Structures are given as C-alpha cells and as structure tokens.
Amino acid sequence: MNKLISLIQKTEFNHSLTKSEIIELFKNNECNGDLFKAADRVRKKYVGDEVHLRGLIEFSNICKRNCMYCGLRRDNKNIKRYRILPNEIIKLAQKAVGYGYKTIVMQSGEDDYYTVDKLKYIISNIKKMDVAVTLSIGEKTFEEYKAFKEVGADRYLIRIETTDPALYAKMDPGMSYENRKRCLRDLKVLGYEVGTGCLIGLPDQSFESLANDILFFKDIDADMIGVGPFIPNEDTPLKNERGGDFLTSLKVMAITRLLMPNINIPATTAMETLNPRGRTIALESGANVVMPNVTEGVYRKLYALYPGKICTGDTPAHCKNCITGKIITIGRVISASKGFRVKA
C-alpha cells in the first residue's frame, strides 16, 4: 500500500508509468482516494479551475456500422431513425452559441447522407459564429478530413474504443483497427486537435488491455481523452453482458490525467448514467470539460447509444442551468474561452 502511495506521488511529478505500474493501480483499491486527489491536483496545476463546456448536437442516428455495443448499429431495427437537415443543424448551433457555448460538437452515426459538400456548408456556417467546431462523425478519408479542416473544423473526436486488436475485431465487425489508427494519424497530420478514448468494461477486457489503452493515448499525444463505461444495450448482441463499472472508468480517467497533465478530459455522460454524481466526481478526479447536449425535442431520446442516458427528457436550457450549477457548486468556473489544449 505504501508502495502504491509513493508510486502515485512519483507520477504526480514525472507523469510517467509503466504498464505493470498501471496494472498495479487497477488491481488495488486501497489508494483510490490518493489517486483521485493527485489527478485533481495535476488538473488544477496544468489546466486550472476553468471548465470548458461544449454544446453537443447529435444530428443523425443513422449509422452504416454495426458495432456490437452500440444502439445505433445498423442491424438495430428497434429504433426510429432521424436526420437533422443542414439548415436546422446550423440553427441548433446558433441557439447553442446563444447559451454561451464556445465549442459546437457535431456528432452522428456514420451517415453518408452528409456528403463532404453538405458538411462543408454546415461547418463553414457555424464557423461564422466565432466558435470552435469539433466533429465526431467517424472514419473518413484523408481528403475528407482535409476538406473539413479547410473550412474551419478545429477538432475531431474518434475513440479507438479498445487497443486490443482481437477485442476490436470482435466488437467492431467489418471495421479495421489499423484504419482507425490511420484516421487518428491523418487528423494529427492535418492539424486537428485530436480526441480519442476507450470503452471500459467490454467483454473479456483485462486490466492489461486498459493499461495498453492509456499508454496508447500518451503515445499518440492525444489532445483530448474521453472515456466511459460500456453500458449494455437491450437492442444489441451484448445485451446480456455485465458492462463497465464507475470506479474503473474513474481510475482510467484519473491515471490518464496523471500521465497527460495538460490535455482536455471530459466528465462523460456515460459516467453520470452509472452514478447520479458521476460528472461532478469526474471533475474532481481529473476532468476539466463537460459536453452538455443541445439537441432538441424528440431527437434526444432517439440518439440511444445505451439505456439510461441522462438528459433525454430535458431541454438545452435546462441542461445549461443544471451543469452550470453543478460546476459552480464545487468551486469551479465556466470558461469563457474556446478551450484549446494548453501548451505544456
């Protein structure tokens, strides 16, 4: 136990861990409090008390992929599909800007309806609003990523999901781990701020595998890392699996903060789905970003990645007030900037 405490202390200052040291931290729970407090101190020292809010627009739940864990997978016939049209997406962004959000995140399934031209139209119009634009729309070619960058896209989120090639092949049938890594490389080369992350608690995922995920994040020097528990969805082949737990997810996040002190780390929606104070706890264990939903009306419920997703019955205005209250209550401040990664 003393060994673990000195390991955490060392990491707080040198931001480096070996694979076996990460596994040790996972295996033991006696020092979790010290781990979370150290991650909180590193967060404060490097990225400060500001919390960056990113307004999330879930603009289409149509997806050509078939990820085993995801409710939007193409074989799921139990959900009603929707697409928000380009001009309506721009209007939602305008409203989000009105709520004070300085970043708009455009997220969807992999839906080819949104051609490069349509996406360029949407991105360039949102960029006129003096905000950062983050895309989270899946695997594209280098040329497509380049076209979005040229009209002003700033950031791109694409989780690696797992760095275990065999598990990846099982979880994401028809997709290639190598292509996923190619996407991350292309995005870096093009000058995007790149966000990735993993799911925690996938079937047969080991601590070693999670340690590899964390070392991968550091190895590619990701600018943002979003992690969350896998939550089994009734409408998927993984409906009878156990899913991830809150504590392990929090530990992955905290260890990532120790190793990558100046990156942006969101307190994710899935964390709050497993624990009613999940995002607050995450913000006090290394996180410095929240992504409140700005999707409106019926669409929110239909963006059903996993069951129990928070905020599905709430309005953008309600979420803005709700999350602002939570942040202020713990003595943190809402950032007024676009919230790019701070320089080391």
Question: Can you give the binding site for ligand FES, defined by CB under 6 A?
Answer: 292, 311, 314, 318-319, 322-323
67/252 with CB nearer ligand SF4: 67
Minimum Å gap between C-beta 166 and ligand 5AD is 18
63/289 with CB nearer ligand SF4: 63
CB atoms < 10 A from the CB of 298, how many? 9
Minimum Å gap between C-beta 92 and ligand SF4 is 19
Choose from ligand FES, ligand 5AD, ligand SF4, none: what does 159 bind? Cβ within 5-8 Å by kind. ligand 5AD
Binding residues for ligand SF4, per CB under 6 A?
63, 65, 67, 70, 72-73, 109-110, 138
Choose from ligand 5AD, ligand SF4, ligand FES, none: what does 322 bind? Cβ within 5-8 Å by kind. ligand FES
Minimum Å gap between C-beta 52 and ligand FES is 15
Cβ–Cβ under 8 Å, residues 29 and 313: no
65/81 with CB nearer ligand SF4: 65
Minimum Å gap between C-beta 233 and ligand SF4 is 10
126/158 with CB nearer ligand 5AD: 158
Minimum Å gap between C-beta 76 and ligand SF4 is 9
- Amino acid identity for residue 166 in this structure: A
**CA distances (Å), origin 103, targets 76, 127, 135, 292, 293:** 31, 10, 11, 11, 12
Cβ–Cβ under 8 Å, residues 279 and 271: yes
172/284 with CB nearer ligand SF4: 172
Beta bridge partners of 266: 289
Binding residues for ligand 5AD, per CB under 6 A?
69-70, 159, 161, 199, 228, 230-231, 233, 270, 305-306
Choose from ligand 5AD, ligand SF4, ligand FES, none: what does 286 bind? Cβ within 5-8 Å by kind. none
Choose from ligand 5AD, ligand SF4, ligand FES, none: what does 323 bind? Cβ within 5-8 Å by kind. ligand FES
Choose from ligand SF4, ligand 5AD, ligand FES, none: what does 199 bind? Cβ within 5-8 Å by kind. ligand 5AD
Beta bridge partners of 107: 58, 136
Cβ–Cβ under 8 Å, residues 332 and 50: yes
Choose from ligand SF4, ligand 5AD, ligand FES, none: what does 63 bind? Cβ within 5-8 Å by kind. ligand SF4
Minimum Å gap between C-beta 183 and ligand SF4 is 12
